């Protein structure tokens, strides 16, 4: 039996029955009789609207595009308030950083919108691999509110840090934000150093132009190493996991937009499995909604949620077979360390950087004396090592695919992990316990 069959078999056994198709079957598009909006509380539409309803689910739970509408942005009120305060009011530059898919672009876009309303000009751009300073900032010049005749922009040669600084200071009087997304793609040390210099120069020269960098990072050290004094001028906003209630609200909203409604235990199961990630909440919620929709129901039940989680896991395993194989192998060899492996996944979903010390502390909180000491932690790390990378400081490990920890935890939960009630709980593991007990698989 190959890994994918084993995974299916395994999940089937644990979920108590048929987990359904591996990938939802495609329905032929059938033009709706009329494009009437779907409203909650109506009877399930007749057959011709099936494709229409499925499309409504795909649209509502869409994971392919960042949120641009503030009402669709869940759980980021504090972050937005802090950014407005630091950037719009205190006129600092900013860095928005977090794991892949954590919601950086969504936060940056909605923040740009708010800044725009507050009277700033907010311009949005994106870095690409190998870009230098000219490549990063020249694309903004077309839309920059430059005063007439303020400066000439050389068309035939790249501009340097000083030239950009002069142009921004002398040519722009209107409060302007340049939002540079995907800054992590800038890997050249020299360019990062130059960007840091530009930020510092703009601050020192009281420029009306401020820079907001957005990128994948576990911490801000890489950028600040060049200019430690930047800490005073740069506001760093991490993009952290979202609170349970806010994720539940997001799921309710998406379901409502698709003309469906979640039952409470279904929403809680998905929120638990998403571990603070709006991306995973949307993916899991979409599969659950498709399950209800396929059955012609408007209410998404716990069974739909469980089926949705299994479908999402099966889909992920097809799209990411190497990572799935690593996890499957680790779990097959883990024995009594399955709980520790799940814990590593939960911790990484909360904050990507895993260290021996962090895993040890959380392991002691969760499993007490039964953890098995440092040797057990070492063994846990070595089991999942092929899925980890050590990019930052020595000993700072991260899942190479930062979207994978939630799927790892699902795989363990599929095996029926049930930690005991009476163990002491520290802050770092509070949600881990709730999660490991709460998914209900």
Ligand X SMILES: Nc1ncnc2c1ncn2[C@@H]1O[C@H](COP(=O)(O)OP(=O)(O)OP(=O)(O)O)[C@@H](O)[C@H]1O
Residues lying near ligand X in the complex (CB under 6 A) are found at 63, 66-67, 72-76, 98, 100-106, 216, 250, 278-279, 282
Q: How far is the CB of 127 from Mg ion (least distance, A)?
A: 11
**76 vs 106: CA distance, rounded Å:** 10
Answer yes or no whether residue 406 interacts with Mg ion by CB under 5 A.
Answer: no
C-alpha span between 227 and 230 (Å, rounded): 5
> What are 267's two structure tokens?
């929403």
Which one, 73 or 381, has the nearer CB to Mg ion? 73
Part in contact with Mg ion (CB under 5 A); list of ranges 31-39, 97-105, 217-225, 269-277: 97-105
For residues 195-234, which are near Mg ion according to CB under 5 A? none
CB of 95 to ligand X, least distance (A): 13
- From the CB of 245, what's the least distance to ligand X, in Å? 13
Interacting span for Mg ion (CB under 5 A) from 72-80, 103-111, 198-206, 391-399: 103-111
CA 310 from centre of chain? 20
What token pair was written down for 198?
């530009």
Closer Cβ to Mg ion, 214 or 260, answer by number: 214
Identify the residue among 8, 49, 105, 306 touching Mg ion (CB under 5 A): 105
Strand, helix or coil for residue 387: helix
Q: Which is nearer to ligand X, 58 or 279 (CB)?
A: 279
Q: Which residues, in sequence order, are CB contacts of 435 under 8 Å at separation 6+? A: 272, 273, 275, 346, 409
CB of 183 to ligand X, least distance (A): 11
Out of ligand X, Mg ion, none, which partner does residue 55 contact, by CB within 5 to 8 A per kind? none
From Mg ion, ligand X, none, interface partner of 405 (C-beta below 5 to 8 A by class): none
Residue 303 Cβ vs ligand X, minimum distance, rounded to whole Å = 25
Q: Which does 402 bind (CB under 5 to 8 A by kind): Mg ion, ligand X, none?
A: none
Q: Are 62 and 178 in contact (CB under 8 A)?
A: no
Measured between alpha carbons, how far is 135 from 119 in angstroms, rounded to an integer?
Answer: 27
Q: Which residue is nearest to ligand X (CB)?
A: 103
Q: Output the six-digit token pair for 369.
A: 């004396």
Q: Which residue has the tokens 């979207």?
A: 403
DSSP string, 158-210: ---HHHHHHHHHHH--S-EEEEEE-GGG---HHHHHHHHHHHHHHHHTT-SEE
Length of the chain: 441
Nearest distance from C-beta of residue 161 to ligand X, angstroms: 26
| Interacting residue ranges for Mg ion, rule: CB under 5 A | 105
């Amino acid at each position: 039996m190959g890994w994918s069959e084993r995974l299916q078999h395994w999940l089937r056994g644990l979920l108590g029955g048929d987990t359904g198709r591996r990938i939802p079957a495609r329905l032929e598009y059938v033009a709706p009789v009329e494009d009437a909006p779907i409203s909650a509380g109506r009877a399930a539409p007749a057959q011709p609207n099936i494709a229409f309803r499925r499309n409504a689910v795909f649209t509502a739970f869409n994971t392919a595009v960042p949120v641009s509408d503030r009402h669709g942005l869940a759980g980021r009120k504090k972050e937005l308030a802090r950014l407005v305060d630091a950037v719009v009011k205190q006129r600092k530059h900013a860095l928005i950083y977090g794991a892949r898919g954590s919601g950086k672009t969504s936060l940056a876009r909605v923040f740009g919108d708010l800044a725009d309303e507050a009277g700033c000009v907010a311009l949005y751009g994106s870095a690409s691999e190998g870009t230098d300073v000219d490549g990063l900032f020249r694309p903004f010049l077309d839309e920059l509110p430059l005063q007439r005749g303020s400066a000439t922009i050389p068309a035939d040669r790249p501009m340097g840090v000083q030239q950009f600084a002069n142009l921004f200071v002398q040519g722009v009087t209107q409060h302007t934000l340049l939002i540079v997304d995907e800054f992590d793609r800038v890997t050249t040390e020299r360019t990062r150093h130059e960007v840091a210099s530009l930020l510092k120069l703009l601050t020192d020269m009281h420029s009306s132009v401020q820079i907001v960098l957005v990128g994948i990072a576990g911490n801000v050290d890489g950028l600040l190493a060049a200019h430690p004094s930047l800490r005073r001028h740069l506001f760093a906003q991490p993009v952290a996991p979202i609170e349970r209630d806010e994720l539940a609200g997001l799921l309710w909203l998406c379901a409502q937009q698709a003309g469906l409604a979640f039952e409470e235990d279904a929403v809680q199961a998905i929120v638990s499995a998403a571990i603070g990630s709006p991306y995973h909440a949307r993916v899991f919620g979409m599969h659950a909604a498709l399950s209800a929709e396929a059955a012609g129901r408007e209410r998404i039940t716990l069974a739909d949620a469980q089926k949705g989680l299994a479908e999402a896991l099966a889909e992920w395993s097809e799209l990411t077979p190497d990572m799935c194989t690593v996890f499957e192998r680790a779990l097959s060899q883990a024995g009594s360390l399955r709980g520790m492996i799940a814990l590593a996944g939960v911790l990484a979903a909360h904050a990507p950087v895993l260290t021996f010390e962090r895993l040890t502390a959380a392991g002691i909180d969760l499993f007490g004396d039964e953890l098995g000491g440092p040797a057990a932690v070492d063994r846990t790390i070595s089991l999942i090592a092929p899925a980890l990378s050590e990019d930052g400081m020595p000993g700072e490990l991260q899942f190479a695919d930062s979207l994978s920890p939630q799927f790892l935890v699902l795989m363990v939960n599929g095996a029926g992990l049930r930690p005991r009630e009476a163990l002491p709980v520290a802050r770092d593991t509070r949600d881990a316990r709730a999660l490991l007990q709460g998914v209900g698989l």
